[in-house]
Amino acid sequence: MVSRGLALVYGVVAYVLFLVVFVYAMGFVANVGVPRGIDGPLEGPFAAALGIDLLLLTLFAVQHSVMARRGFKAMWTRIVPEAVERSTYVLAASACLALLFWQWRPLGGVVWEVESPWLRGALHVASALGWLTVLAATWLIDHFELFGLAQVWRHFRGTPAHAPAFATPGLYRRVRHPLYLGFIVAFWAAPTMSATHLLFAAVTTAYILVAIQLEERDLIVAHPEYAAYRRQVPMLVPGVGRREESASGIVNAAAPQK
């Protein structure tokens, strides 16, 4: 019971830290309410700042993808208890993001700036809707499973894990990856697009496109039904891509790989 209790506390702490980092991320991208936002004047050599930013983005991308792969999980759970594997992943991702926010180097310069107050307001709304889409997507699948709380709670109670279900909740009937779509909209809907913000949006979008391919490869192996779902439902943009018939489902168990 002591070890189960410690695992539960560990999972809850990892989740709370994720919430803090997630809220900070919204302020970081919007340059609102945080001590260090994404934008600012260039300080020091441009090449050094660019190199640091790319290194920070690469660190997060590698951690986020490698630790989500089936092969890594099989190896990793020989070291850490399976019940806290997901919480450890969440904690590592939060640490990488916190490091990025702390060490981020603005590049200065403005790529574009929208002058119309109405259009600026519309872009702010679009960015907010992007973040809401991210949150909605986590709840449509299994929010607590995605962030490790369900696993540590089952471990605490001594309840075995349930088999993953195949379903099409809400937005997942329109696109296969509404969570990633929300991030892309949140990052690109910027009334003032600085060079730094453009770098952040471009690199994260490129990473998302690569991560989707890795993730879906694992999903097809774990759940053969996903291959048909992939053919029937667009990846990111509703209505774009082949859709032969109504999709039969999405794998709830896939959520932790995002």
pLDDT tens string 37-62: 999 899 889 999 999 999 999 999 99
pLDDT at 221: 82
Q: Which residues pair with 166 in a beta bridge?
A: 251
> What pTM, to 2 d.p., does this model score?
0.86
pLDDT at 157: 86
**Cβ-based neighbour number of residue 117 at 10 Å:** 9
Domain encompassing residue 170? 2-257
pLDDT at 2: 54
pLDDT at 163: 65
In tens, the pLDDT along 151-168 reads: 999 989 888 877 666 666
pLDDT at 1: 52
pLDDT averages per 10-residue partition of the chain, 258 residues: 82 96 95 91 92 96 89 87 92 96 93 92 95 93 89 88 71 91 96 94 95 88 85 86 44 42
Q: How many domains does the chain have?
A: 1
Q: Which residue reads 């990856």 in tokens? A: 177
pLDDT at 257: 45
pLDDT at 101: 96
- 160 by Cβ neighbours in 10 Å (0-12 / 13-18 / 19+) ranks as exposed
pLDDT at 224: 83
**Cβ-based neighbour number of residue 33 at 10 Å:** 11
Handedness of CA 105, 124, 208, 102 (dihedral sign): positive
- 244 by Cβ neighbours in 10 Å (0-12 / 13-18 / 19+) ranks as exposed
Cα of 108 vs its chain's centroid, Å: 26
Q: What is the dihedral of CA 63, 67, 71, 76, to 10 degrees?
A: 120
